[in-house]
Structure 1
């Protein structure tokens, strides 16, 4: 398997650190803690995910989600009655109920079962999906001239001339900068939109043996029969849709962390993608920048807005 020089710069120090600990007896030979301390702790983390919301782009046939306060489903004497809304004032906590009309919503991971009656569901995907090499192929300049431009095999070959052969088992994200329209629903849903060509998909999967590809729009292509998505699902491949911030990620040398909800038998996955870039990359935050514990408090108390979303609201 080919590994780019930048990716080697991320992985080799981590692997050598693990090996060194094993040899010196400083840690169990199976430990990855030194890899974390020497590489991942100082890496740059970039979120590639849109938060899903009641108002956002979605295929019109599905409709939008609804957010609302969770209510008690059964009575608990002296505490809550059926139908009562949980509040900070009365119960010390709140919870939110989500009416999700589809599992094809927001930044997502499509399993084969989305189109294929014999395909794997989201709960069938193995844990090995969690961390992979990340490739970003940039077609944004071409999309700026032709918003219906789609990824060609020639774009992949151009990337490989610069960075070397795409690593087997990697995730290939196609950067179009279409994500910048996300908050303008009408503009985001325009057609034509940037796509990924069928021949490019076949090349990536059958010649380079990638794990999956991802794109910023909510469909693979704008062909009448969605030929790219049909081919992927019926050949038992997954794909990512609605990805964000690919303009903030190096084209090679980064990793991608992949997380998704796991509904049993799910035909789609609400996903969280995070790029992990080398420490000297210009974008992203380190663990020192955002340690995560304790988390910062809101500027004002949280209250529900007109769409049921909890937001900091001045008193």
Structure 2
């Protein structure tokens, strides 16, 4: 009933997308997107699928960790401070554009394909499919999604929508940000056959997974195929245990570095209003934002600002 109700609420969205996509249509369906927001998005539940980036997150050893520091006044070489300047800013030394939750643009492996700043704006919002292999990981930590797993999901939920985003839940991220995650050689992944089925047969926009890599093959066969065929992917996704396997949307935002081979990303799942996880806009103070109980202060031991 939850998914049926939410599907009805999102009918205007579907009509709008259909009208935009149909070039042969002589009469456009007029949709008031402000009403779509009021009727469908305002009371929806929002779940953040993004890890927070800090100096302690697991990072591939070939890149090394990021470094945070106070932004310095170029003229005085002193850090800006609330006391002396009325504001503070942060200086980041980022070892890679492949940190935390991020998108791999195809140019990560194949320079003839788009970089992160060349991905189209249409990536912004999509139907979200979540396929779980979490129940397989206990017996085999190196289990990789198979085509049979996808077909089993479709038998229950229907055919995966064309143009959707498919995230693979493995619960691998439950121990994030343990640095040991980056050193694992065996971890849940996606088989090459499954990737080809999703992209070629089901024509999805892209897939995403919780680990830092697509698969554990020596040559990263799945990632190689994706990048060299013009497909982007999402990595280090969080909180997939808190979103429904069907019926939700995903909002996608990412940094736009020119020529970037990856982009730090923010993924937000938009779930039905009666979903048990997440928050709606009526449940949080948004504008003005509330004062925090503790003050934000620089912690030199942790190498970042924390609330104390």
What's the TM-score, normalizing by structure 1? 0.89
Out of 135, 140, 144, the position equivalent to 2:138 is 144
Out of 196, 203, 206, the position equivalent to 2:190 is 196
Equivalents in 2 of 1:282, 1:46: separation in Å?
Answer: 10
Partner of 2:272: 278
Unaligned runs of 5+ in 2: 17-29
Whether 2:306 is the aligned partner of 1:307: answer no
Equivalents in 1 of 2:225, 2:128: separation in Å?
Answer: 23
Partner of 2:92: 98
Out of 231, 234, 246, the position equivalent to 2:240 is 246
Out of 124, 131, 139, the position equivalent to 1:130 is 124
Shift of residue 9 of structure 1? 3.2
Shift of residue 301 of structure 1? 1.6
Shift of residue 6 of structure 1? 6.7
Extract structure 1 runs of 4+ deviating beyond 4 A.
4-7, 13-17
CA RMSD, aligned part only?
1.9
Partner of 2:151: 157
Equivalents in 1 of 2:247, 2:298: separation in Å?
Answer: 41
Distance change in 2, residues 1:236/1:129 (3 Å): same
User: C-alpha offsets along residues 296-315 of structure 1, whole Å, 9 cap, x if unaligned?
Assistant: 222122111123311111xx
Secondary structure of the 2:250 match is: strand
Shift of residue 188 of structure 1? 5.6
Whether 2:226 is the aligned partner of 1:225: answer no
User: C-alpha offsets along residues 36-76 of structure 1, whole Å, 9 cap, x if unaligned?
Assistant: 11110000000000011101111100000000000012x3x
* Pairs within 5 Å for 1:1-315: 5=4, 8-12=7-11, 29=30, 31-73=32-74, 75=75, 81=76, 83-187=77-181, 189-305=183-299, 306-313=301-308
Contact 2:182 2:212 in 1 (8 A): no
User: C-alpha offsets along residues 194-229 of structure 1, whole Å, 9 cap, x if unaligned?
Assistant: 000000000000000000000000000000000000
Equivalents in 2 of 1:242, 1:16: separation in Å?
Answer: 33
Distance change in 2, residues 1:184/1:308 (3 Å): closer
Unaligned runs of 5+ in 1: 18-28, 76-80
Give the number of equivalent residue pairs: 294
Shift of residue 262 of structure 1? 0.4
Distance change in 2, residues 1:7/1:138 (3 Å): farther
Secondary structure of the 2:138 match is: helix
Shift of residue 143 of structure 1? 1.0
Shift of residue 117 of structure 1? 1.8
Equivalents in 2 of 1:69, 1:153: separation in Å?
Answer: 48
Secondary structure of the 1:35 match is: helix
User: C-alpha offsets along residues 73-95 of structure 1, whole Å, 9 cap, x if unaligned?
Assistant: 2x3xxxxx2x1210000000000
Shift of residue 5 of structure 1? 4.9
